[in-house]
Amino acid sequence: MDNRNSILTDTLPDQAIFALDIGTRSIIGMVGMPDGERIHIVAIERAEHTKRAMIDGQIEDIDQVARIAGQVKERLEKKLGCRLNKVCVAAAGRALRTESVTFEMELSRAQKIDAESVSRLEAGAISEAEKIFMSREGKDSDRQFYLVGYTVSRYYLDNYMISNLVDHHGRVLKADIIATFLPTEVVESLYSAMHKINLEVASLTLEPIAAINAAIPQNIRLLNLAMVDIGAGTSDIAVCRDGSVTGYTMAILAGDEITESIMKEYLVDFDTAEKIKAEIDEAEELHFTDILGFEQTITRESIFESIKEASSRLCEEISAKIMEINGGMPSAVFLAGGGSRLAGLKEGIVEHLKIDPKRVAIAGNNFKINAYSEEYDLENPEYATPLGIVISAGFNIVNDSYRITLNDRPAKIFRNGSFTVMDVLMMNGYNYQDMIGRSGQNLVVSVNGKRTVFYGEKAEPSVLKLNGEEAQLSDPVNAEDWIVFIPARHGKTASAKLSDVTSLDSNKKVTVNGEPVKTDVVLKSGDRIEIEEFVKEADTVEKEEKTFSEDRNDGRSVTGSVNVAHTPVSGIRLAPAEMGSMNIASGVPQEEVKKVQEVRGEITVFLNDIPLVLPPKPDNQPYYLMDMLEYSGLDFKNLTRQVMLEVNEESGYFQQELHNRDRVKIYQV
């Protein structure tokens, strides 16, 4: 029974699905209504591109694609007697980028691993994978990609392989992942074309995922099967086993290869060559007019001979990609798409795969498992993608993206299954640095052999809320949830000039990297600064004993005393390292005296991630790293392991001066 009368209203009911398959050669529109365990396809329309607005499945001319899509939409609206406002679409697999990477994350100390730490590890691995393929392809680092999906091959904890990190104790986390990305322009051009004809994108998936959802129903995916959707510009490939899709890729050859061979052989335009290709199986002889105006009659056998080489290349490429993504021979192969009906293609796949001919079939027989129609022949393999889009949305195989809101806009969701906040963010163009933030790079120089660090500005943390509550990356996301995310602001890189290290006057000899310097210069990391100062004559003062504490190169601290005889000296040059044990009356520059005399206020440091407010010392002295030992909670009389000292994620030393908002770590390895 035709139930279309139930949807003849001003707008399509919420349960109805309108899908558009935007292909290289044509656009197919399909409308379905869920009916029990199947979907009733009530309307199908198709329109050809009048010019090449699509290249290899990717939109080149947005206006042209929007115009043809608008025609399909209008025809369907007239046929149904209602308006179409929401559309389900699929992005071409042509632009997919897949990368394998190993990523390591070291925690500040050995600790119990929680789900949030695992999410950060995976986010870091995904961003690293994107960075690798962008670098290899010479892409601009600012170019964004959407995460389509990723698989963790294995985890490691402190270099030991482990199946699940959560609740184990350790410090060094590592993961091997395979991540797949889609360039933002592929998705944004698709959205732009839809917006031009007043359509809201209700769900978005990938063409190979949609096609396999139609060609290979869930109930037979326990078998190792491959699906090839052969279009005009690309051949999308997906494989499944053990109940789920395990990988997808694409071959760079498709139906256009055959068309172009016919064009060259018979001197015809593209449309004529397409017509010849479509009629190979329908007649023994074909008649056409070439570009010179001559009428020609050719036999079916001569056409097969002219396309033999191109067809062989296509079959070889498809077979190689199937073997690559599947890791070996599949149990069976389904051929879908308009190109799948090309005469001799099935036999070519059998030959190159060296598979039993009974294990390669044209898709279509399984379409009736999930869909039916009283007016249309749904077994047409060309319907694999549009039907797959309808089935995916109708049975919620791919989550409808409008059901998850990110920053007041529908989130883009490419696959089915469960999601975390991190998944949603990375599927919508955010990366690891947006979530975690990056402190400004430190500037490290050497002053008289002593390492001196100018710290970069700390990152401003990201803001993440799920349904109005503070959230973590590992939190699960459900239908109708809404996420607010403000990316972290990266800290500024540290900068310093020579004048920030020492004053420049006639009493000093200053060199940078061995070269004498007379004027202020901008410092670079790795610069070696040497300062020698001439000490002027001083009045005789009383002899006094000064204590000193100095860090030796071997890591031990030496304490002692020095008798300084304050007699007039002249012509003696002392390096600052020697002057460091002298008191103010013994030659410390006046600007250093002023610095000591400044009144110090309270400071806040983060000791092992816990804020600690330190009031001013009675003697107005600064706080040093060794002052934090008493707050660390460690029993220094009964230590069993080596103690690590860190300040702002760098190795620290006992007499390192602390500053406001420094992050201090004191822990046993």
Instruction: Kindly report each contact of residues 608-616 with a partner whose C-beta sits within 8 Å and lies 24 or more positions away, as own/partner.
Output: 608/108, 608/109, 608/632, 608/664, 608/665, 608/666, 608/667, 609/108, 609/663, 614/658
| Beta carbons within 10 angstroms of residue 374's beta carbon | 11
Residues 6+ apart with CB under 8 A from 348: 311, 312, 314, 315
pLDDT value of position 322: 87
Packed helices 300-326 and 345-353: angle between N→C axes, nearest 10 degrees: 40
How confident is the prediction for the chain on average, in pLDDT? 78
pLDDT average, residue stretch 269-283: 79
List the single range of 118-127, 178-187, 370-379 with lowest mean pLDDT: 178-187
* DSSP letter, residue 130: H
Question: What's the rounded Cα separation, in Å, for the pair 503 and 595?
Answer: 14
| Beta carbons within 10 angstroms of residue 484's beta carbon | 15
pLDDT average, residue stretch 16-25: 86
Question: Residue 197 pLDDT > 80, yes or no?
Answer: yes
Question: Residue 218 pLDDT > 80, yes or no?
Answer: no
pLDDT value of position 397: 54
Nearest to 544 by CA among 569, 520, 563, 521: 563
Strands 145-157 and 169-183: antiparallel
* 172 φ/ψ angles, rounded to the nearest 5 degrees: -105, 115
pLDDT value of position 145: 73
Residue with tokens 């007697």: 81
pLDDT value of position 94: 65
Q: Please give the share of the chain, as a percent, with pLDDT higher than 70.
A: 82
List the single range of 220-234, 241-255, 282-296, 522-536 with lowest mean pLDDT: 241-255
pLDDT value of position 371: 87
Nearest to 174 by CA among 214, 128, 209: 128
pLDDT value of position 138: 64
Amino acid at 365: N
pLDDT value of position 590: 44
- The answer to whether the CB of 194 falls within 8 A of the CB of 70 is no
Question: What's the rounded Cα separation, in Å, for the pair 5 and 551?
Answer: 89
Question: Residue 454 pLDDT > 80, yes or no?
Answer: yes
Nearest to 374 by CA among 35, 82, 18: 35
pLDDT value of position 74: 93
List the single range of 169-178, 371-380, 528-537, 659-668 with lowest mean pLDDT: 528-537
Q: pLDDT higher for 462 or 149?
A: 462
Strands 515-516 and 160-162: unpaired
* 336 φ/ψ angles, rounded to the nearest 5 degrees: -130, 175
Question: What's the rounded Cα separation, in Å, for the pair 194 and 302?
Answer: 43
Q: pLDDT higher for 565 or 599?
A: 599
Question: What's the rounded Cα separation, in Å, for the pair 230 and 318?
Answer: 9
- The answer to whether the CB of 371 falls within 8 A of the CB of 264 is no
Question: What's the rounded Cα separation, in Å, for the pair 623 and 14?
Answer: 65
Question: Residue 535 pLDDT > 70, yes or no?
Answer: no
Q: pLDDT higher for 113 or 590?
A: 113
**Which helix (H) or strand (E) element contains residue 360?**
strand 360-362
Beta bridge partners of 238: 227, 248
pLDDT average, residue stretch 28-40: 89
Question: Residue 31 pLDDT > 90, yes or no?
Answer: yes
pLDDT average, residue stretch 514-526: 87
Model confidence band, residue 71 (pLDDT cutoffs 50, 70, 90): very high
List the single range of 145-154, 237-246, 550-559 with lowest mean pLDDT: 550-559
Q: pLDDT higher for 582 or 473?
A: 473
Q: Please give the share of the chain, as a percent, with pLDDT higher than 90.
A: 8
pLDDT value of position 261: 85
Question: What's the rounded Cα separation, in Å, for the pair 458 and 150?
Answer: 31
Q: pLDDT higher for 236 or 170?
A: 170
* 486 φ/ψ angles, rounded to the nearest 5 degrees: -115, 115
pLDDT value of position 12: 66
pLDDT average, residue stretch 482-510: 86
pLDDT value of position 405: 85
Question: Residue 587 pLDDT > 80, yes or no?
Answer: no
Model confidence band, residue 552 (pLDDT cutoffs 50, 70, 90): very low
pLDDT value of position 308: 82
Question: Residue 641 pLDDT > 50, yes or no?
Answer: yes
pLDDT value of position 72: 93
Model confidence band, residue 137 (pLDDT cutoffs 50, 70, 90): low
pLDDT average, residue stretch 531-554: 49
Model confidence band, residue 589 (pLDDT cutoffs 50, 70, 90): very low
pLDDT average, residue stretch 426-451: 83
